[in-house]
A and B are shown apart, each in its own frame.
Chain A
Amino acid sequence: MTTHLSAAPIVVNPYRPSPARITSIIDLTPMEKLFEFRLIGDAAREAFDFQAGQFVELSIFGVGEAPISISSAPSKQGFIELCVRNSGDVTGALHSKKCGDIVGLRGPFGRGFPFQEMKGHDILLVAGGLGIAPLKSLINHIHDDRHDFGKVTILYGSRTPADILFRAQFDMWRHRDDFDLILSVDQPDETWDGAVGLVTKLFDTIDVDPKGTYGAICGPPVMYKYVIAEMRKKAMDADHIYVSFERRMKCGIGKCGHCGVGHQYACIDGPVFNYWEAMNLQEAI
């Protein structure tokens, strides 16, 4: 670059959060709450166009920022829903906020699930714990476009029945015939009549059309290789299996370096990768 002393003024500061109002807070579990935000200003709302699987940087001045997956569907415009576990300074500060309070959001960032490419196929979604949050965005998006998809199967593993997120919605869906939802818990209680054990055990109970199915996986880091192994046993193609990675992030725009995974950055190259890509990323899985 040759120096230009009379450069055009900077219009956009990608580090500057947009103010957003909390419009709803729902307690999901003792640790997780579902927050709904509305960006302030028509222009900001209209500019916020996202894909399932993308994330935002949640910004609370005086505390800091944290990357959070969007859990609402792109088909629902005008608000942004984040399912947040109280697990650090920023998420703790958010948990102490009330409806009507203002926080900051930056984004959407990253590469989401290939929704258009997935159309016309069966979908197999596998979530562990809080990993359901980004997948819920995809599930709801599929729901709003249901006729474009084949069979939709959701396998969702939790530690205990009390840890199951979005339970009210899933309880409704358990009785629908266009979503095959199978819940499993590691530690059942006396009320539990569903499956028990790791989510991978549920693969014994499902049929998969190997060439006609797209997979999507999100959960704790340890889960991926086992779930992928099950999908590969079902003969699914590596590039039809999508995973969403959690990594430490500061900027969300490929500069701060924290989210390096193999030779890529989770914030701009992911957080959603297909398994062929992920296989080529050192230390990814």
Chain B
Amino acid sequence: MFFRIIPKREIPELVRGLASQFHVIGPVAKDGSFVYAPLSAPAELRLDYDTTLLPAKEWFFPSSETLMRFTVADNVVIDDSVDETKRVLFGLHPCDVNSLLLMDNVFLGDNPDPYYKARRDNTLIVGVSCMPNEHCFCNAWGTDETHWGFDIFLSDIGEDYYASIRSVMGAELVDRYVAGRPITDDDTAAFQRRTAEFKAAFTNDVDTSQLPVLLDAKFDSDIWEKLGEKCLACGACSMVCPTCYCFDVHDVLEADQLTGCRVRTWDSCQFKEFAEVAHGHNFRDTRASRVKYRYYHKQWGYLSKFERVLCVGCGRCTRACKAQINPPRVVRALQTGLVD
């Protein structure tokens, strides 16, 4: 990896330069919190944000997107083009950078998804370091660090960013738009001090040991009934999750009934009809079974395929859940057998 010291005051110049070639999307303040949104001016970029309401997946796997347009009479596809807009996602925290790598396993592995792939191929990622808030637990999964999955990663070392440069395009853009300078040993020492402060700042302690065993051995535990009694089945946990990728597909007809669109939308395994088949048989018809499945899949199902858990510890579901069901609490329940 190549490194560069980029003074913080040069970031607006970098953003301005990027904006001449790309749609630049980054964290901006909105209604008292932050969202990833297109920047209309470099000053809107808030690299001091703590978290965003929705994760970055929206820019690769939108909450609703047209897969294809069709004609009804002859059952023919008339358009299945993909979105090749050139974008930069500027300011992703390590959790969100890592979440995209987890999404990649699903959408870019066997049978690659052309819609996701086109957006991923045409989007540069600029990451930025953060400090944990009270809901963060990325350290539990090792997703507090990121070593790939970005073009440029900016680590805050005071007046400057210690920039890791991962791609040719990232290097070209840094060369073109910022002066910067090479790193020194002092810079690396500052980077290490900053990393130590970051690691020490976590307040959640999540004991992830032996989760696959516990998920199977305690599959019939009453913790799931207790959690199911609390769950509102609203699906908010899935919507705000940077790694939840489940979707629904449905056809929408135009007013003339002659043409239409096949649309996919985010779905959630917490919704009652998610596992229902013909004649109304439902493989998970209780909230308890659906809460359990969400955790079972994230900490074991996905792990069994890709050797990583499907969670990056961003804490968004902790904020979103009105029933206080969240990974630290569920993992505690699995470890102790008690729902606290």
Task: Tell me the A residues contacting B by CB distance below 8 Å.
Answer: 1-5, 7, 10, 12-17, 19, 59-65, 85, 87-88, 91, 102-104, 220-221, 246-248, 250-251, 253-258, 260-264, 268, 282-283
Contact = CB atoms under 8 A, between A and B. Distances in A.
Contacts of A264: 301, 304
A256 B267 contact: yes
A263 B260 contact: no
24 contacts: A1-B104, A1-B148, A3-B125, A3-B167, A4-B121, A5-B86, A5-B121, A14-B111, A14-B113, A15-B68, A15-B262, A17-B77, A19-B76, A61-B75, A62-B260, A250-B248, A255-B247, A257-B246, A260-B275, A260-B293, A263-B300, A268-B110, A282-B216, A283-B283
A61 B71 contact: yes
Contacts of A91: 278
Interface stretch (B7-15, B45-53, B193-201, B249-257): B249-257
Contacts of B86: 5
A13 B80 contact: yes
A255 B123 contact: no
Interface string B302-320: 0110000000000000000
B107 interface: yes
A20 B300 CA distance: 39
Contacts of B80: 13, 15-16
Given A1-B149, A65-B249, A248 B276 contact: yes
A196 to B, nearest CB: 24
> Which of A246, A256, A258 gathers the greatest number of chain B CB atoms within 10 Å?
A258
Contact of B120 (A3, A63, A253, A262): A3
Contacts of A4: 121
Nearest to A283: B283
Q: Which 6 A-B pairs have the closest CB atoms?
A: A257-B246, A7-B121, A263-B301, A61-B70, A253-B111, A10-B114
Given A2-B167, A256-B267, A257-B246, A7 B117 contact: yes
A61 B71 CA distance: 7
A130 B261 CA distance: 32
A3 B249 contact: no
Which of A62, A63, A248 has most chain B Cβ within 10 Å? A62
A19 B216 CA distance: 43
A3 B113 CA distance: 16
A5 B169 contact: yes
A29 to B, nearest CB: 15
Contacts of A16: 68, 77, 80
A85 B278 contact: yes
Most-contacted residue by chain B among A12, A88, A91, A262 (CB, 10 A): A262
Contact of A87 (B253, B274, B279, B284): B279
Contacts of B74: 102
A61 B112 CA distance: 23
Contact of B301 (A17, A248, A262): A262
Given A5-B169, A248-B276, A282-B296, A263 B304 contact: yes
A61 B301 contact: no
B110 A253 contact: yes
A255 B70 CA distance: 22
Contact of B148 (A2, A103, A260): A2
A102 B303 CA distance: 41
Nearest to A222: B281
Given A14-B114, A85-B278, A257-B267, 7 more contacts: A3-B125, A5-B169, A17-B77, A62-B257, A64-B251, A250-B247, A260-B293
B1 to A, nearest CB: 11
B118 interface: yes
B275 A255 contact: no
Contacts of B278: 85, 87-88, 91, 246
A246 B262 CA distance: 24
Contact of A5 (B111, B122, B297): B122
A15 B250 CA distance: 12
Contact of B260 (A61, A65, A87): A61
B213 interface: no
